[in-house]
Structure 1
Amino acid sequence: MATLAEYLDRLGWSAERLGREVNREAGLHTVSRKAPYAWLKGAKPRGAVPEIVTAILSTKLGEAVTVPMLWPRPEPTVEPAALSSHYGPWTGGSLWSGPLHVFNAASDSASTLPGLPGYALTAPVLDWLTVEPVEIQGRVVGRQPVTPEMTYVLSDRVAQLRRLDDVQGGPLVLDWVTDDLRRAATLARDGSYDADTGQRLHQILAELAQLAGWLACDQDLTGLGQRYLLTGLRAAHAAGDAALGANIVSCLSYQAAWAGEHGAALSLIRAARKGADRPGHGSVHALLATRQARVHAQLADETACARALDDASAAYADGSPSDAPAWAYWVTPAVLAADAGRAWLELGRSDRAEAHLVRGLNLFGQDQPRNRMLHNASLAEARLGLGDLEGAADAACQALDLGERLISGRAKARLRTLQTRFERVDSRRAHEVVDRAHHILRSS
């Protein structure tokens, strides 16, 4: 794996030149003139600077450069105590013996929890895949009776929070989700309920933990997000909900891919597809196949990517919307088409990417603004690859209009990439895109 020094040598840049490029991208005085010399010695810059550095290098070199490639996580940072709660027996009685501490400690240590490397995720996922769930028993002793009506309220609340994440996201939504998660976890641990209510309560817990994990990862709280996802996986397993568990494993795969751990991401998404169960869940299987296609694209395996995209189309066509779980409401033809476009873009096939992205964006209408922002940014990249500057600028402006209203780490990262790509183009419209992106990023 190349070092930062080797990348700079290929560009003929000094450390100070890299610092100037970062300041030009992110704003004057973002880093000091001498700061990059420490990076050459292995020090990792704070905040969004690592993503800015990798976006600059990727654009200038014409190849993917990721943060883990420049600043890999040392394996010893994975703390045994934090992992042990996820490696314990997969039984209903042990579910809350360890993972509950994640909910209680999250607000104090969220920003300091180290991310877990891919190898640390495979053992609990293998347990999820191979250990038979123990049927949840009713609890007759508990401080708080839990009625079916209480689970209906919690279920409605989860749906509301998901919709709020679709249009806004951000730290406030994460706080609301984790507050509900703590309350629901306390009911599961200390309440009294019959077996059916207990099973539904654990499903709700799994959904809340999945949503919390997704939101945390989107806010660059990777370590916290992974722990929420692993706890959600245990709750889904206890509830006997294979489709929900597979969705959670696919989120772990997606996060590993964001971190550049594509081998681990592929292993995880394969496990998710194997464990998903129920062929009738067409939207679930389509989602998983599409996420596998994205990993194949990032590994430059066009044949496997195309095969997985075909699997996704077939699965969705074979399924029935009425059979889909409630949490999969957002898995639509628009999402599948646009995600296919992103996969083709990652393979360098801008022509195929544009066609899929345009189709997906047309199908979205006014729904899912964050997804529309991300896919408009992808469409702008595809059109730049085709030499269509006007079309690229139009798509970029759509992404910027939507990005102004979003609080999302992924959205910010994509806007930085967009800004860098347009900086290479000398035209009035390109300059307008760069200026708007710079203003939005500085204001967020």
Structure 2
Amino acid sequence: MAPETFPQMLKRHRKDRGWSQQRLADALCEESGRATVTRQDVYRWESGRRAPKFWRPYIAAVLGITLEELDRAIATSSEHVPKLEDLLPGDGPAVALPMGGGRRVGRSTADQLMARVHALRLADDVIAGQDLIRPALRELDAAVTLLRESTHTEAVGKALRVAVGELAQIAGWIASDAGQHDQAERAYLLGLSAAREAEDATLAGQLAGSLAYQWSNIGRESEGVELAEAALAEAGPHTPPRARALFWDRVAWAHTKTKDVRAAMRALGEASEALSKHGGEDEPTWLYWVDAGELQVMEARAYTELHRPLRAVPLLNDVLSRYDATHSRELALYLSWLAVAYADANEPEEAASVARRMLDISDGLGSDRTNERARVVRESLAPFRDVPEVREVLGVA
């Protein structure tokens, strides 16, 4: 019989007691004396999305098992972590050039490449940049080789360039999440060239806007504003509504980072107005994640960055109440903004509670973005280190 994994063990003990996930969360809060375990935490543990760290001794006590038994089950679980090859379709690292090189490729090859691009996007939803950067860059390199060394019709060539542009965008995003900002910039610029050759203005705006977002976050704030606005202009007025909403969001963030409150608020309003016009039009598949919730997050982030916590906290709590807990990196990022907003609102106990959850999720995640946000969270808590809850979180951190 195969060893029992931690998710299996946890679910078995919970069901043996006739408990719901919420009841188990309540029991852990009672055992630890901290009201910071939620039903979503239990769900993540039981689905294998996360393994507990701080909560291990309390889980062992509630389940009536030894810590050694618990740790063995957690170790067994680590052998069953999803791999990239489970998420990308087909065999091999990328769509390959037909044997002999220089041979003609058709539309099916472009479609196959686009399928891998979309799969890589979905992988990015659940795998952090440091674990994904090598296969992403390998995919990009193979796609560029395919484009350069094959022959094709003009229509297929355009489809291949769009695929390379989209692949360069997600590879750049992954590289940025891995902290490889120079590599990310090279990928974005390569993709921008491919998008322009394909005459895809919306994709060009997406690539330029992605680079602008990176610049805004790494100390190049003024350049970020200029490039975000240029990206919006390059995309043009006929860009699909959700794309314009996304590009306006990046303009808003760029102005937020330069502390231009009026320009940031105006851009947020434009983003909301653009999204309101979305309704069944043809649009790129990469816009699948842009919705009212994402705009709400950006609005809350802007309010947090501009030290307006009374506006930020309700927005973030609303988003987090219905957010997909399997997207660990984004969940950690959103929690980081909420922790900082609570600290700004002079609510250190609430800030510490949220920060504990954020730090637990982000620990060992492999994302430069969450590592940086963890640093910001700790800095925001530092003035309250005399508060016991804060002191404990900072000690754990």
Determine the C-alpha separation between the residues in 2 that align with 1:430 and 1:330. Answer: 34
* Alignment deviations for residues 383-427 of structure 1 (CA, whole Å, 9 cap, x no partner): 111122232223223322321362111110111121232233222
Structure-to-structure mapping, 1:221-370, within 5 angstroms: 221-277=180-236, 279=238, 281-320=240-279, 323-366=282-325, 368-370=327-329
Shift, 1:433, TM fit: 2.0
Name the aligned partner's letter for residue 203 of structure 1. V
Task: Indicate conservation of the 8 Å contact 1:202/1:236, yes or no.
Answer: yes
In structure 2, the residue matched to 1:178 is 137
Determine the C-alpha separation between the residues in 2 that align with 1:435 and 1:203. Answer: 49
2:144 is paired with a residue whose SS is: helix
| 1:196 paired residue among 155, 166, 176 | 155
Task: Indicate conservation of the 8 Å contact 1:337/1:359, yes or no.
Answer: no
| 1:152 paired residue among 88, 94, 111 | 111
2:276 is paired with a residue whose SS is: helix
> Structure 1 195/315 Cα, relative in aligned 2: closer, same or farther at 3 Å?
same
CA RMSD of aligned residues (A): 1.9
Task: Please say if 1:435 is aligned against 2:360.
Answer: no
In structure 2, the residue matched to 1:415 is 374
1:192 is paired with a residue whose SS is: coil
1:144 is paired with a residue whose SS is: coil
In structure 1, the residue matched to 2:12 is none
In structure 2, the residue matched to 1:398 is 357
Determine the C-alpha separation between the residues in 1 that align with 2:214 and 2:167. Answer: 17
Q: Which has the higher contact order (CA 8 A, sep 6+)?
A: 1
Task: Indicate conservation of the 8 Å contact 1:168/1:405, yes or no.
Answer: no
Structure-to-structure mapping, 1:49-88, within 5 angstroms: none
Task: Please say if 1:209 is aligned against 2:168.
Answer: yes
Task: Indicate conservation of the 8 Å contact 2:259/2:306, yes or no.
Answer: yes
Task: Indicate conservation of the 8 Å contact 1:280/1:323, yes or no.
Answer: no
User: Taking every aligned residue pair, what percent have the same amino acid on both sides?
Assistant: 31
Determine the C-alpha separation between the residues in 2 that align with 1:377 and 1:189. Answer: 43
Provide the TM-score with structure 2 as the length reference: 0.71
Determine the C-alpha separation between the residues in 2 that align with 1:180 and 1:167. Answer: 18
Provide the TM-score with structure 1 as the length reference: 0.64
Determine the C-alpha separation between the residues in 1 that align with 2:387 and 2:266. Answer: 39
Range that drifts further, 312-321 or 201-210: 312-321
Determine the C-alpha separation between the residues in 1 that align with 2:302 and 2:231. Answer: 19
Q: Which runs of structure 1 show a deviation greater than 6 angstroms over 4 or more consecutive aligned residues?
A: none
Task: Please say if 1:386 is aligned against 2:345.
Answer: yes
1:324 is paired with a residue whose SS is: coil
Task: Please say if 1:166 is aligned against 2:159.
Answer: no
Determine the C-alpha separation between the residues in 2 that align with 1:368 and 1:246. Answer: 26
* Alignment deviations for residues 22-79 of structure 1 (CA, whole Å, 9 cap, x no partner): xxxxxxxxxxxxxxxxxxxxxxxxxxxxxxxxxxxxxxxxxxxxxxxxxxxxxxxxxx
Shift, 1:359, TM fit: 2.5
Task: Indicate conservation of the 8 Å contact 2:168/2:191, yes or no.
Answer: yes
Shift, 1:278, TM fit: 5.1
Name the aligned partner's letter for residue 174 of structure 1. I
Determine the C-alpha separation between the residues in 2 that align with 1:219 and 1:295. Answer: 21
Aligned residues: 297
> Structure 1 178/321 Cα, relative in aligned 2: closer, same or farther at 3 Å?
farther
Determine the C-alpha separation between the residues in 1 that align with 2:203 and 2:177. Answer: 20
Shift, 1:142, TM fit: 6.5
Determine the C-alpha separation between the residues in 2 that align with 1:373 and 1:209. Answer: 25
Determine the C-alpha separation between the residues in 2 that align with 1:333 and 1:400. Answer: 27
In structure 1, the residue matched to 2:177 is 218
* Alignment deviations for residues 90-114 of structure 1 (CA, whole Å, 9 cap, x no partner): xxxxxxxxxxxxxxxxxxxxxxxxx
* Alignment deviations for residues 235-274 of structure 1 (CA, whole Å, 9 cap, x no partner): 0111111111101111111111122222111110111111
Task: Indicate conservation of the 8 Å contact 2:336/2:355, yes or no.
Answer: yes
Structure 1: 5+ residue runs without aligned partners? 1-140, 439-444
Determine the C-alpha separation between the residues in 1 that align with 2:130 and 2:380. Answer: 29
Determine the C-alpha separation between the residues in 2 that align with 1:146 and 1:171. Answer: 33
Task: Indicate conservation of the 8 Å contact 1:282/1:316, yes or no.
Answer: yes
Determine the C-alpha separation between the residues in 2 that align with 1:169 and 1:358. Answer: 24
Structure-to-structure mapping, 1:8-157, within 5 angstroms: 143-157=102-116
